[in-house]
Amino acid sequence: MSQPKTAEFRFERRGAVARLLAARGPDLLVVTGLGAPTYDVAAAGEHERNFYLWGAMGGAAMVGLGLALARPGLPVLVVTGDGEMLMGLGGLATVALSNPGNLSIVVLDNGLYGETGGQTSHTSGPTDLPAVARGCGIAETRTIASEGELDELARRVRTPGNGTLLARLPIDPAPLPRILPPRDGVYLKNRLRGALGLAPL
């Protein structure tokens, strides 16, 4: 029988995401998993280079991978939750095959399935997302355990490395008000294309 995880420091989610994006610069592309990560990124400030996923649970890392491969000169950040990442674990193996250095995946881990009623997720038990990522072949993984490490993560996601980064950010499970960005998928797609100098589709 698995043992419960020991208590660890948990960040206030909205403040942590705001710090992560505070000095994002003009180039960073941000993809959000559905639900609370989208609200957190929107609360940090609307931006034409934010691409919010309102569905496709489990697909955030793969959308980020596509952007990172299409635009290797730009840093790409995926901000998602533990439930969404658990839904798309197989995607980490695909990410590892290409291993783009301009892709960072930050998992906001509250140990809950927040969008379906707050049920306990597997990360409250034995599942270790950085270990899963390493097993898939992503060499640079970490769990953020201090304010200083969060500041270092904010710098890292803006600066391509030798391969993809996956970082787990433990967050307090307290619910927060929803901050709703645009929900029109066509508008969001074309806004991002415009920010990249591409014609709308």
Q: 3-state SS string over 63-93?
A: HHHHHHHHCCCCCEEEEEEHHHHHHCCHHHH
* For residue 167, pLDDT beyond 50: yes
* For residue 4, pLDDT beyond 70: no
* For residue 116, pLDDT beyond 90: no
What pTM did the predictor assign?
0.94
Q: Whose CA is closest to 19, among 141, 171, 136?
A: 171
> Which residues touch 83 (CB under 8 Å, ≥6 apart)?
35, 57, 112, 113, 114, 115, 116, 121
* For residue 139, pLDDT beyond 60: yes
pLDDT band at 194 (very low <50, low <70, confident <90, very high): very high
* For residue 160, pLDDT beyond 80: yes
Sorted by where each starts, the structural domains of the chain and their CATH numbers stand as 28-195 (3.40.50.970)
pLDDT band at 74 (very low <50, low <70, confident <90, very high): very high
